[in-house]
């Protein structure tokens, strides 16, 4: 059965879901979005995702034409119309259509709201979660907060796409980006963690997206007997780490076994990583906002 998409007040078949070529989201990447997961007929941390979306919109002075409660209801209704049990949800708000020219005031009709809800997304093949991911460090640097806050989940991902192209060219599964000072920032679409001396470390969010899965892993750390820390670290700390993994709504928790040709730990998914993967799976399949 064809999926249904919400577009500006109307639910339409996926094949009929359209925006104008003059939408500033398409023309200039002027807009925000969220990636959200549903598990076992529940949407995981829906309120937190909606909150983050409104924070991103506020940062770019974009007024979402719905209250948080209205947007939440629209997300759940989109899930219901697509019979979502386990799935991936993407609400998008663009600046809307307008004349050519990047001045947001040219988008006179107002923002457009789009919601997609479809069966589970898979960023990496299943075997990568068993055997681990191979990363390479990109020559591109993450856009610094002095230029554009990485905390804004905007429609413009070209910085990360360039890094991912580089990873593809090297035959790696993912790219690791450093910040402008040379500290580890994040992967192209995920946050990054290392395990060192029984402690879990991830970079501060000043140079990367404040991921919801990232937050969840830091909350779960104590349940598997490790301390979760936010602090800057370098590539040396990555190469010398006992374990490493990426986190993201779409990726969930992905073990990393190699970075820049260097084996991480024993070269297989580590003990702490596997414990966190298990704890995360138990949490997401038993909590969340009911869809039905």
**How does pLDDT run across 95-126, given as a tens digit for each residue?**
999 999 999 999 999 999 999 999 878 788 89
Average pLDDT for the chain? 96
Secondary structure (DSSP) of 145-210: TTTS-TT--BS--HHHHHHHHHHHHTT-SEEEEE-TTSSEEEESSSEEEEEETTEEEE--GGGS--
**Cβ pair 284, 87 in contact under 8 A:** no
With a cut of 90, say whether residue 191 has pLDDT above it: yes
Return the number of other C-beta atoms located less than 10 Å from residue 84's C-beta: 22
**CATH homologous superfamily for the domain 126-284:** D-amino Acid Aminotransferase, subunit A, domain 2 (3.20.10.10)
How far apart (Å, rounded) are the C-alpha atoms in residues 146 and 21? 31
CA distance 291 to 100: 40
Which of the following is catalytic: 45, 128, 153, 274?
Answer: 153
For the segment 50-64, the average pLDDT, to the nearest whole number, is: 98
At 233 the three-state DSSP class reads coil
Class of domain 4-119: alpha beta
Q: Tell me, yes or no, if 128 is annotated catalytic.
A: no
Q: For residues 35 and 87, what is the distance between their CA atoms, to the nearest angstrom?
A: 11
**pTM of the shown model:** 0.95
What is the spatial distance between Cα 181 and Cα 178, in angstroms, rounded to a whole number?
8
Residues in CB range of 125: below 8 A, 6 or more apart: none
Which residue, chain included where needed, has tokens 């055997």? 131
Which residues, at least 6 apart from 190, have a Cβ–Cβ distance to it below 8 Å?
Answer: 174, 211, 246, 247, 248, 251, 254
Q: For 123-154, how does the pLDDT look when each residue is reduced to its tens digit (9 = 90+)?
A: 888 999 999 999 999 999 999 999 999 999 99
- Locate the domains of the chain by residue range: 4-119, 126-284
* Per-residue pLDDT tens over the stretch 246-275: 999 999 999 999 999 999 999 999 999 999
């Amino acid at each position: 059965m064809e999926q249904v998409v919400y577009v500006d007040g109307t639910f339409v078949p996926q094949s009929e879901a359209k925006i104008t070529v003059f939408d500033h989201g398409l023309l200039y990447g002027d807009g925000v979005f969220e990636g959200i997961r549903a598990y076992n007929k529940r949407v995981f941390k829906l309120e937190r995702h909606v909150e983050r979306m409104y924070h991103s919109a506020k940062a770019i002075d974009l007024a979402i034409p719905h209250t948080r409660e209205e947007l939440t209801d629209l997300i759940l209704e989109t899930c219901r119309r697509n019979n979502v049990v386990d799935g991936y949800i993407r609400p998008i708000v663009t600046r809307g259509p307008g004349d050519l020219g990047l001045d947001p005031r040219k988008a006179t009709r107002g923002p457009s709201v789009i919601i997609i809800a479809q069966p589970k997304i898979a960023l990496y093949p299943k075997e990568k979660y068993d055997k681990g991911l191979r990363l390479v460090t990109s020559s591109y640097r993450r856009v610094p907060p002095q230029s554009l806050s990485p905390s804004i989940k905007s429609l413009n991902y070209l910085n990360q796409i360039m890094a991912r192209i580089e990873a593809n060219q090297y035959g790696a599964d993912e790219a690791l980006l450093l910040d402008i000072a040379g500290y580890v920032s994040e992967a192209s679409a995920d946050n990054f963690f290392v395990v060192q001396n029984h402690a879990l470390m991830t970079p501060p969010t000043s140079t990367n997206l404040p991921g919801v899965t990232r937050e969840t892993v830091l909350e779960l750390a104590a349940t598997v007997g490790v301390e979760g820390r936010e602090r800057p670290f370098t590539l040396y700390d990555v190469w010398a780490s006992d374990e490493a993994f990426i986190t993201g709504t779409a990726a969930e928790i992905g073990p990393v076994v190699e970075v820049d040709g260097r084996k991480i730990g024993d070269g297989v998914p580590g003990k702490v990583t596997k414990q966190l993967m298990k704890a995360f799976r138990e949490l997401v399949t038993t909590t969340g906002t009911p869809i039905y």
